[in-house]
């Protein structure tokens, strides 16, 4: 099955869903989640995935989601019991130390909790990807990983800390190296993923993102002085600002607030779009190579569309954000290479029995 670039008439990945088909699922899920006081949310997510996967075609067959709501629910309960409950008890101990006048011991405990949280988030991300691959079938073949993610948790811990210790300049290295680590432990069918993302390919954009707050602060200072002068005349350090000058400063601060979140958000997407193209483009699975075609403008359209949808519908549009995000991901995902179905065998990895409990408990994304 040849998927070499330039020879295939269609993309290897295609999405055939429709928001009108998705709407009954989304609204029914909302109603049942409200009625069950949130418990149905795990089954709701399963219904959404079953629809989205079934409308996603890879080459000649559609994906199939085989996970269940009960798996997600049990995974969440286990995360609460074995991780969040001990963290809550440690938090109570921390408050007791502060009240008893032991700030040094309390500070040490805060540090330990922070380290533990970073470790557990790494484990959560790894196990969520592992679970999703194990429940994704194509031609009856699934993915997975033989490792539990505990070792990756330590990798996530020290690489994240190192990335921020160098004044944040090593963050791209941390992101790409962790991407390579976690996907290097994954497989699909008989093939193991290989990831070789290079942080040097994205450091230029990251530096723009890194330095942009400084530029925005300078802009704010200029706007503040300009606004004060425009509304209140010359600035005299020996006299207090008058009412017009204060209005000018408020107007400048409002403009800065809008500019900061607008411009800084766009710059963040400018970096992230390059990072994601590099990460996916450096991913291989046996004879297959992948590519992600979304540019910065595509990410901006996605985020502005999601925000606009939620605002216009007074929050109800949040139901369709997972649909839009999945469609965006599949639409821009490409695969190249020659895949022979007669060489594919079922994955020998052990499938996890619980869902993404840690991921739900810490509310972090896996992708």
Q: What is the pLDDT of residues 242-301, one digit of tens each?
A: 566 667 667 767 777 777 788 889 999 999 999 999 999 999 999 999 999 999 999 999
Residues in the chain: 367
CB contact at 8 A, 216 and 256: yes
Q: Return the higher-pLDDT residue of 82 and 245.
A: 82
How far is it, in rounded angstroms, from Cα 152 to Cα 127? 10
Where residue 7 falls among pLDDT bands split at 50, 70, 90? very low
Q: Output the CA–CA distances (angstroms, integers) from residue 245 to 216, 231, 258, 260, in the order listed.
A: 21, 5, 20, 22
Chain-centroid distance of CA 114 in Å reads: 20
Helix, coil or strand: residue 273: helix
Give the integer Cα–Cα distance in Å for 211 and 327. Answer: 33
Question: How wide is the angle at C-alpha 246 spanned by C-alphas 245 and 252, nearest 5°?
Answer: 90
The whole-angstrom separation of Cα 310 and Cα 32 is 21
Give the integer Cα–Cα distance in Å for 248 and 82.
Answer: 54
Backbone angles phi, psi at 63, to 5 degrees: -75, 160
Highest mean pLDDT, choosing among 81-90, 149-158, 257-266? 149-158
pTM of the model: 0.85
**Residue spans per domain, the chain:** 199-259
DSSP-derived secondary structure for 223-271: HHHHHHHHHH-S--TTS---HHHHHHHHHHHHHHHHHHHHHHHHHHHHH
Q: What is the pLDDT of residues 302-349, one digit of tens each?
A: 999 999 999 999 999 999 999 999 999 999 999 998 888 777 787 778
**Residue-level pLDDT at 8:** 42
- Assess contact for 178 and 156: CB atoms under 8 A: yes
CA pseudo-torsion sign 136, 142, 143, 144: positive
Q: What is the pLDDT of residues 95-125, one digit of tens each?
A: 777 777 777 777 788 888 889 889 989 998 9
């Amino acid at each position: 099955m040849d998927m070499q670039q330039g020879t295939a008439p269609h993309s290897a990945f295609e999405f055939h869903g429709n928001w009108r088909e998705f709407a009954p699922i989304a609204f029914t899920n909302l109603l049942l989640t409200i009625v069950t006081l949130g418990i149905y949310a795990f089954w709701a997510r399963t219904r959404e995935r079953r629809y989205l996967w079934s409308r996603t075609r890879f080459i000649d067959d559609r994906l199939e989601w085989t996970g269940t709501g009960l798996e997600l629910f049990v995974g969440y309960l286990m995360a609460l019991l074995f991780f969040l409950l001990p963290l809550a008890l440690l938090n109570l101990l921390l408050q007791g130390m502060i009240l008893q006048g032991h700030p040094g011991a309390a500070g040490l405990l805060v540090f330990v909790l922070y380290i533990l949280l970073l470790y557990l988030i790494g484990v959560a991300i790894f196990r969520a990807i592992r679970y999703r691959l194990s429940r994704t079938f194509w031609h009856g073949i699934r993915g997975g990983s033989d490792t539990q993610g505990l070792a990756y948790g330590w990798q996530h811990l020290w690489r994240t800390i190192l990335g921020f210790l160098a004044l944040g300049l090593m963050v791209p290295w941390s992101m790409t190296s962790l991407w390579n680590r976690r996907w290097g432990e994954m497989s699909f069918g008989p093939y193991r993923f290989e990831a070789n993302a290079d942080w040097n390919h994205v450091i230029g954009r990251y530096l723009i993102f890194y330095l942009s707050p400084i530029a925005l602060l300078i802009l704010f200072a200029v706007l503040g002085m300009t606004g004060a002068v425009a509304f209140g005349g010359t600035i005299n350090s020996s006299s207090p600002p008058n009412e017009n000058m204060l209005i000018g400063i408020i107007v400048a601060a409002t403009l800065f607030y809008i500019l900061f979140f607008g411009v800084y958000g766009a710059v963040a997407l400018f970096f992230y779009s390059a990072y994601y193209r590099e990460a996916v483009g450096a991913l291989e699975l046996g004879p297959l190579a992948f590519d992600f075609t979304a540019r910065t403008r595509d990410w901006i359209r996605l985020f502005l569309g999601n925000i606009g949808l939620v605002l216009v519908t007074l929050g109800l549009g949040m139901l369709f954000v997972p649909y839009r995000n999945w469609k965006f991901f599949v639409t821009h995902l490409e695969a190249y290479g020659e895949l022979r179905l007669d060489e594919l065998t079922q994955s020998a990895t052990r499938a996890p029995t619980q869902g993404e409990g840690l991921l739900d408990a810490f509310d972090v994304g896996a992708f």
